Structure 1
């Protein structure tokens, strides 16, 4: 059976349960990488959260405030394929991958020395998919097994990212406006499903399959749908989506 992270790690992780992962805030803010204080202020006022860099930086701050050893990890920093997550260590020194940018349901063990680490397919860690984790030194590969038989993969370099390198990569990512994206975890029967807005389409991913939603014709209609799903402020959504739409022309 897969082992859960420690109560201390989970207590911090669960603070972000209602956070979407979204690239809309940066198109509204357009001021580069925000501080944690700014992210908290925007969250309280507008219901915003941020992209994978925002969420990782905020999560790191919360872990450190709780006295938990944590650091950034990822791949392809400084490129258009950049992705960042967090590794947190429990009191035994075991590592757990904490990836808010991909909206994992809970942190997952990365310590092959632990007897609970089997390398088997696991349920309950990622919305609408089983996952299989392989760790070799400072390399980690995750395989995602979808209900339709599709298998996708993601690799992480588990070498700790320095704070300087993390902030440089984060700043670069905040000026990349190629894709309007929102992802959100939503209750769906007995499971947690994955709702996504991407490329002016939206759909729900569940263990039973993918459910596309009705196509919308106006920014106002998209604002309403995204607001109802995530709670993001409509004025923020209007400005952000208009910016993305104009940048595509």
Structure 2
């Protein structure tokens, strides 16, 4: 179910890249361009401030990296242009096998989605998603992923496997970048013991998802405390973080500064 080494080589360039909405809010706070950034701009912001972006940013960046490596890849998405949309990438190896590449949901590595391939299995697999085992269940032009958590709970997500035309995908990206959901979010893969876990800052709470279950962080009261914690986990520029979180504070009820 694992991807070829040439696909993995591109994927690994994005190890440690968070998925987040903090950069979008920071751009809003600066009254800057509220459309999808190009890859050159994203690279510049990464170099200057350590930031990455949301699922559209990461998908577009990953698509460009696959293109530079000579690997066929195309965008996929669900509920595009609705505000509840999600963007990911499908990479295709030299023999035509398709692999889901989802930086937005912080997968550990790409996974095969072709049910007719000899390497395919519908068994629960570890090592693909932090803090959970996954099953891939293909069906015609879509596939379902079942996430099995260590506490016995499970959740599902349905992906379309059909390519989204780039013009349509970029229009959905522009729509996403022009709307800021009032609850801040950052997710990042982090080493934890002998595994890679998933740390999440979501609506002024933070926790770590591991193969042993959730590890909740102590609550914080101030913006400055959150800046310090998020900087420790992500390496993001502290001034940018404070400006971003202050912007979120103005959108909804949040900790005092």
Q: Is the structural similarity TM-score above 0.5? A: yes
SS in 2 for 1:159: coil
Q: Deviations over 1:74-118 (max 9, x none)?
A: 100011210010000000100000000000000000111211101
1:138 offset after TM fit, Å?
1.3
Q: What is the distance in 1 between the residues matched to 2:172 and 2:153?
A: 31
Gaps of 5+ in 1: none
Q: TM-score normalised to the size of structure 1?
A: 0.97
Give a deviation string over 1:140-198, Cα, whole Å, max 9, x none.
11000011111111111111011111111011111221121000101111111000000
- Residues 121-145 of structure 1: per-residue CA shift (max 9 Å, x gap): 1110000000000111211110000
Note if 1:27 corresponds to 2:30. no
The whole-number CA distance in structure 2 between the counterparts of 1:212 and 1:80 is: 28
Instruction: State the match for 1:136 in structure 2.
Output: 139
Q: Which residue of 1 aligns with 2:51?
A: 48
Q: Tell me how many residue pairs correspond in the alignment.
A: 247
Residue 5 in structure 1 maps to residue 3 in structure 2: yes
Q: CA deviation at 1:18?
A: 1.3
Give the secondary-structure state (helix, strand or coil) at the position aligned to 2:162.
strand
In structure 1, what is the equivalent of residue 64 of structure 2? 61
Secondary structure of 2:12 counterpart: helix
User: What's 1:212 paired with?
Assistant: 216
Alignment of 1:57-136 (within 5 A): 57-136=60-139
Question: Which runs of at least 4 in structure 1 moved beyond 2 Å after TM superposition?
Answer: none
SS of the counterpart of 1:91? coil
Ranges in structure 2 where 5+ consecutive residues have no aligned partner: none
Deviation at 1:200, TM superposition (A): 0.1
Other structure's SS at 1:80 match: coil
Q: Determine the C-alpha separation between the residues in 1 that align with 2:17 and 2:165.
A: 25
Aligned to 1:16: 14
SS of 1:161's equivalent? Answer: coil
In the alignment, is residue 227 of structure 1 matched against residue 231 of structure 2? yes
Aligned equivalent of 2:168, options 141, 155, 165: 165
Distance 2:205 2:159 in 1: 28
33, 36, 41: which one pairs with 2:39? 36
Q: CA deviation at 1:64?
A: 0.6
- Measured after TM superposition, the shift of residue 49 of structure 1 is 0.3
Query: What is the TM-score of this pair, normalised by structure 2?
Result: 0.94
Q: Does 1:177 align with 2:175?
A: no
Q: Deviations over 1:177-235 (max 9, x none)?
A: 11210001011111110000001000111111111111111111100100011001111
Superposed CA RMSD in Å reads: 0.8
